[in-house]
Amino acid sequence: MSRKKGPRKRASSGGRAGGSRRAFRRRVLLAIVALLVAASFLARRMGVGPGTAPAFDASLFDEGPRVSALEAGAYVGQDAVVCGRVVNTVFAQATGGQPTYLNLERAYPDQPFDVVVWGRDRGRFATPPEVLYFGREICAAGRVTTHQGVPRIEARGPEQIRF
């Protein structure tokens, strides 16, 4: 009994089907990466996320509106000087961006306002912010934004916070 000689069929695990699956996975992965990059870009353009605070102008302490932590929500999107007592502080070292939260007037999760110092900016403070400002009356100057409905100012250095 003789067999016809001709092209052999490849096993499904090593043939074109496997290659096209790999190519499909690569395309999907590239699409996901592209979406993440686009979302990050748009978030930063919209002023969301770490590193989106505008440059600080020290004249804001003298010329800007001075409001209490309870009134800060009315100034979202504007530059202001927000004042209040730091009653709760948290350095969230294990959280992305390593934020330090200075909660004014009431402790988290009921704070009416917070000042956030991102991990990359902590080195600008001679004393860790959660130690330096705890229990003190402070005024923070900068652009008022919100995170999860809570007004905040991102402090990029100690020049934005005064006792």
- Model-level pTM greater than 0.95? no
CATH classification code of 60-162: 2.40.50.140
Angstrom distances, CA of residue 93 to CA of 96, 114, 117, 120: 8, 17, 12, 11
What pLDDT sits at residue 17?
Answer: 54
What pLDDT sits at residue 143?
Answer: 95
pLDDT digits 0-9 by tens, 84-134: 999 999 999 999 999 999 999 999 999 999 999 999 999 999 999 999 999
Given a cut of 80, is residue 46 above it in pLDDT? no
Grouping H, G, I as helix, E, B as strand and the rest as coil, residue 93 is: coil
Q: Are 151 and 158 in contact (CB under 8 A)?
A: no
pLDDT band at 16 (very low <50, low <70, confident <90, very high): low
pLDDT band at 34 (very low <50, low <70, confident <90, very high): confident
Q: Which of 9-13, 19-23, 47-51, 66-70 has the highest mean pLDDT?
A: 66-70
pLDDT digits 0-9 by tens, 48-92: 555 555 677 888 999 999 999 999 999 999 999 999 999 999 999
**Eight-class DSSP state of 27:** H
What pLDDT sits at residue 153?
Answer: 97
Report the distance separating Cα 61 and Cα 151, nearest Å.
18
Strands (E), 112-149: 113-117, 137-147
What pLDDT sits at residue 1?
Answer: 56
**Domain spans, the chain:** 10-46, 60-162
